[in-house]
Structure 1
Amino acid sequence: MPEIRFFVSPDGRDDGPGTAEQPFATPKAAQKAVRAATSAMTGDVIVSFTTGVYRLDESLAFTDTHGDSGSNGFRVVYQAQDYGTAGQAKVELSGGREITGWATGDDGVWTAPIGDLAPRRLAVDGTPATRAARTDGLPGSVTKTSTGYVTDSVEPQSWPHPAGLEFVYPGVYPWSEARLSVASISGDASSTTITMAQPAFDNAKSLYDAKWYGAGGDGSWDGLATPSVLENNVAFLTEPGTFAVSRTDAGDHVLHYRPRPGEEIGKTTVVAPVLETLISGQDVHDIVLRGFTFTDATWTGPARTGGYLHYHGNARYERGDFRKIDLGADVGYVHVPAEPVQLPANVSLTSVSRVSLEGNHFTRLGAGGLLIENATDVAVRANVFDEISGSGIAVHTSTRAAVEDNLVHHIGTEYRGSPAVLVVESAETSVAHNEIHDVPHNGIVITGGERAEGTQVVSNLVERSMGKLMDGGGIYLSAPQGSSHAGGALVRGNVIRDVLTSYNFGLYADYGAAWITVLGNIVHRADTPIVLQVGPPMENVAFVGNFWDALPDGYDTPPESVTVAGNTVLPKESFDDAIRADPAGADILARAGRRGLER
């Protein structure tokens, strides 16, 4: 029997039959029709969307108990009409709301009432706008106190609506960036007192309690001494394309936006994200999503908790105790969350199997882009991830996930420790032929653990990683990745160029990394291509047949059970020409990155 087809169009009607001639108007109506058809499938069910913006009033949730899964060996396919052809429809699934009721003040700033919304992102005619910011920190001579800060400048007393103000601490740990909310600002003619939101500020002091011992140093370290960046206040609204939200206890918030040249009220569309989840999947199987653009979703976690207490990767502190990690008498110590909480994503699939996301665009999103958790046989292929506040793709405790041929760039725009691709304690996962560039910290992160084994990181192209924070690399691996080289992680044929901030490593095996084979990769323009001395020490790691432009420290005296052999150092100044002249190097270059693209 042929497949069953439904159609959706912005010009359709939900009380129609969902045919090409009489399409549905909303994804919800199409989903209802699919649920009625899945119990006795004799072919695929295909739902095609015509060009348009579909604004979701609520999340589109797929659950097996409601009949959303494919059955009898067939799939449910949601797709842009004419997917994969030159005439493919441009379909946007948006969690945003258009802002109306604009007025213009004497200073040219637009204002609009937005009720209880407090957006952290805006899209103006589809282009992201950023929160108004002061990038030179607090004015005056600043002293940290038990409840916040005191400065001898009276300027902060003139900043209106300080309850929406957020302080940013890049490098609070070298690999972390914290965000903390302000509770109030007060003062007199000679000084200003800034009181921070609690308990977030006290928790931050506990989390970022550290000592770092350098040559002749006393270990003093206070990443919270003073914020570097201040965000979201009308006083900072000087640059076109920036906005701020004035917040009140009554929820009568006002959005302020300084327009770019050529933008006009009545002609320019401003969209604020509202939904925190665009798409969710729970226990479903045999579903395909392809050809969509997922946009304009938010995450209100920092407002709910008084800040974003980042630790590493997607992990943050939100509850529980703190654990002290002793890095050695000559290094120091740090504190970490005893119960780390992971950053959520605006598209989230949990306990799913045989699900495919292909050819989609994830953009203008306020959390992570995509989270795959406790899943089996999931494919994430040929998607684009950009303009995302957190990570691009995160895979947690899953088996046989394929993350391949994706383009990930300009992610971590708010939560800068976020990796482009993160794999946590997963088995038989493939991260292959992805292209990653212009990211604030690590490009690819693979963290090990009891479930981790058989992960392959193959032929990825990672350029301009570590753009904001330190102590990371183009590809970062930590903890054991199995129990043997045969069942461990393979990192092969990747090209890593331009690892930007100081104290970085192209290929970084860290924090007790074990059972990893690093074979035939290229590293050019990193602080150093690899690091051999880490704490806890790495074990059973092999660096073989790689090309790089500097000799790593300790190359001739690696740790016991660590193999470093057959690697080639090429001149830094002529590296590009030299690697292309080497047959093995030229082959690695030709294979790296997304397939099907000319290089």
Structure 2
Amino acid sequence: MFQIHVAPSGDDSGPGSIDRPFATLERARSAARDAAGAAVVRLRGGTHALTGPFELTEADSGTVYEAYGYGTPDQEEVVISGGRTITGWREEDGVWLAEVGDLETRQLYVDGRRAARAGIDDPPGLTPSATGYVTDSLDWRNPADVEFVHRGVYPWTEARLGVAGVSREGDSTVITMAQPAFGWAAELYNSTWGGTTSSGPGVPTRIENDRGFLREPGTFVLDRSRPGRHVLLYLPRPGEDPERTRVVAPVLETLLSVAGAREVAFRGLVFADATWLRPSRPEGFVHYHGSGYYEGGGVDVADLGEGSSVTFPTASVTIPACVTFEDTTGAVIEGCRFTRLGASGLGVSGGDGLAVRGCDFDTLSAGAVVVSGSRETVIEDNRVRGIGLEYSGSPGISVTGTHGCVVAHNEIADVPHCGIVAGPGEGTRILRNLTVDTMQVLADGGGVYLAGVQGDSHDNGAVVRGNVIKDTRTAYNFGLYTDYGASWVTVEENVVMRADNTAVLHVGPPLENVIYRGNFWDADPVGHEEPPSGVTYEGNVTLKDEHELNAATAGIQSQAGLRRPNP
């Protein structure tokens, strides 16, 4: 392969050799396109700061981008960053302030650590109105930057709605919410539970992003009250010094976009420091389920039985990813890290034969891997942890509309909702994964969750085998969950322990052609006494004593999760 080198300290006028590397990925891409055959671009250690998304097309087929020394003890740490280092801090009453021009971001990282947006939980004294809320008193410095968080409108939802402005009417303060988000929320969130009917998003569970909320060290606010003269405010933690502390604000929304390329590969790279700005706009984030959100188009009503119902969107949009692959063939993402990203980490749509192998996903606002409409995608030996930090419905790994997708030997821990989600598709294989501490924030999901039609026979249906699901946290969950009309699914030789419920056999729409066979759990699934006609329930073992369960399933547990050594 023709070798090209690029380094943060390089020079684009040079030859791109190991001694005189290029400075930018764009220059290296041009050299790779001009090469007589396939090329490998070796990135030297350091931060490669992007000024715009790095885009590859069919013209880049066959090119490999990898960290210098990849696969050896001398591998260098290569960071592809869409962030901006914030300088010029001044101190005011213990708060750091920086003039940042027209900077827009929703995240901030201080010496690599995520700083949370300043906010207050369970704000008192808000009464809903047709256009927002009314309160007796309010002391916000920049109302139009304030964002309301609505957790648990449905047990599986968490919306984010912006404020348009505030005004005084007599002795009251009127809060007008941004449109169209507030109207969409009123349209979507309507339900009846146990005889109680609710309409609209209700009162917020948290309010974020005002100067007055800067109370906890390590939190920040972006004040956009003066167009083009935004101010970033940060309340430092003890020991932090503006002269020595590196503060990075993500600016780009997309780091890497690959479309139509064949046999491209990325190895040993760190993708970091990207944001997603849409929730800060008047459209907000009207979340429904998983990675999906509503932006109008109509709703329908799901009858849950016994007088309960919920309104759901007839169509939804998926949270984007900061690294995207569209209609590629034979692409490989190996040994990479996705971190400090303001949306999902990796998004795959269409294409054939993509492999995501041996990667780490952490510190993400949304999910780790989202796959839709692709064929023969393989997602294996990846570690997912600390994701869904801003969009709590986000699953660790999600696949839908796929053919022959394999999700195997992944380790997923510390996530706010589902670990692995498979929507309607064909031939999905979920094999020997380990999920721990899932469903930490929102409810009605599981360590592994499937919904919809998975094929037209057991030969091309979904198989869920050899997975170990531990510590599914919320008070309303099913560790291993086949839901909403799942059909042609074989669930066998899995282990579920320490869940609110291990599984459920009666759902609506009902399960059809679903087999539960040879599974082990510490409690019987809901409905196991009388399985519905569409479910075969045989050879499953319930062992309530944890020591007995561990002893009986030692072989299954030893094969679940990563097959690579932990660092």
Which of the five TM-score ranges fits, normalised by the shorter chain?
Answer: over 0.9
8 Å contact 1:459–1:593 — kept in the other structure?
yes
Aligned to 2:47: 53
Within 2, Cα distance between the matches of 1:54 and 1:136? 41
Within 1, Cα distance between the matches of 2:149 and 2:456? 41
Measure how far apart 1:303 and its partner are. Answer: 2.1
Aligned to 1:147: 131
Deviations 1:517-558 (CA, angstroms, capped at 9, x unpaired): 000000001111111111111111011100101112321210
Say whether 1:88 aligns with 2:75. yes
Within 1, Cα distance between the matches of 2:517 and 2:485? 19
Measure how far apart 1:331 and its partner are. Answer: 4.1
Aligned to 2:382: 406
Measure how far apart 1:486 and its partner are. Answer: 1.3
Q: SS in structure 2 opposite 1:353?
A: coil
Measure how far apart 1:355 and its partner are. Answer: 0.3
Say whether 1:68 aligns with 2:60. yes
Aligned to 2:98: 112
8 Å contact 1:169–1:223 — kept in the other structure?
no
Q: SS in structure 2 opposite 1:32?
A: helix
Aligned to 1:281: 258
Unaligned runs of 5+ in 1: 71-75
Measure how far apart 1:580 and its partner are. Answer: 3.4
Measure how far apart 1:127 and its partner are. Answer: 1.2
Within 2, Cα distance between the matches of 1:423 and 1:223? 30
Letter in 2 for 1:454: G
Letter in 2 for 1:124: V
Q: SS in structure 1 opposite 2:333?
A: strand
Aligned to 1:245: 222
Give the TM-score of the pair, scaled to structure 2: 0.98
Q: SS in structure 2 opposite 1:476?
A: strand
Within 2, Cα distance between the matches of 1:598 and 1:341? 36
The RMSD of aligned alpha carbons is 1.4
Within 1, Cα distance between the matches of 2:94 and 2:351? 50
Letter in 1 for 2:127: T
Aligned to 2:179: 198
Q: Among 418, 429, 436, which residue is 2:394 paired with?
A: 418
Within 2, Cα distance between the matches of 1:33 and 1:446? 40
Measure how far apart 1:223 and its partner are. Answer: 6.1
Aligned to 2:296: 319
8 Å contact 2:98–2:231 — kept in the other structure?
yes
Q: SS in structure 2 opposite 1:220?
A: strand
Measure how far apart 1:46 and its partner are. Answer: 1.2
Q: SS in structure 1 opposite 2:174?
A: strand
Unaligned runs of 5+ in 2: none
Aligned to 1:174: 155
Measure how far apart 1:598 and its partner are. Answer: 7.2
Within 2, Cα distance between the matches of 1:462 and 1:124? 29
Q: Among 374, 398, 421, which residue is 1:445 paired with?
A: 421
8 Å contact 1:172–1:222 — kept in the other structure?
no
Letter in 1 for 2:48: Y
Within 1, Cα distance between the matches of 2:411 and 2:283? 35
Does 242-251 or 196-205 show the bigger shift? 242-251
Letter in 2 for 1:125: D
8 Å contact 2:67–2:76 — kept in the other structure?
yes
Q: Percent of pairs identical after alignment?
A: 49
Q: Among 359, 373, 397, which residue is 1:383 paired with?
A: 359
Say whether 1:579 aligns with 2:565. no
Aligned to 2:450: 477
Within 2, Cα distance between the matches of 1:160 and 1:24? 47
Within 2, Cα distance between the matches of 1:438 and 1:189? 48
Q: SS in structure 2 opposite 1:250?
A: coil
8 Å contact 1:6–1:20 — kept in the other structure?
yes
Q: SS in structure 2 opposite 1:78?
A: strand
Aligned to 2:478: 505
Say whether 1:593 aligns with 2:558. no
Q: Among 119, 122, 125, which residue is 2:111 paired with?
A: 125
Aligned to 1:370: 346
Within 2, Cα distance between the matches of 1:536 and 1:148? 35
Within 1, Cα distance between the matches of 2:564 and 2:47? 29
Measure how far apart 1:245 and its partner are. Answer: 1.0
Letter in 1 for 2:274: A
Deviations 1:291-316 (CA, angstroms, capped at 9, x unpaired): 11111101111123431001111111
Measure how far apart 1:500 and its partner are. Answer: 0.4
Deviations 1:545-589 (CA, angstroms, capped at 9, x unpaired): 001011123212101031111111112xx31x213322xx11110
Say whether 1:23 aligns with 2:10. no
Within 1, Cα distance between the matches of 2:211 and 2:375? 48
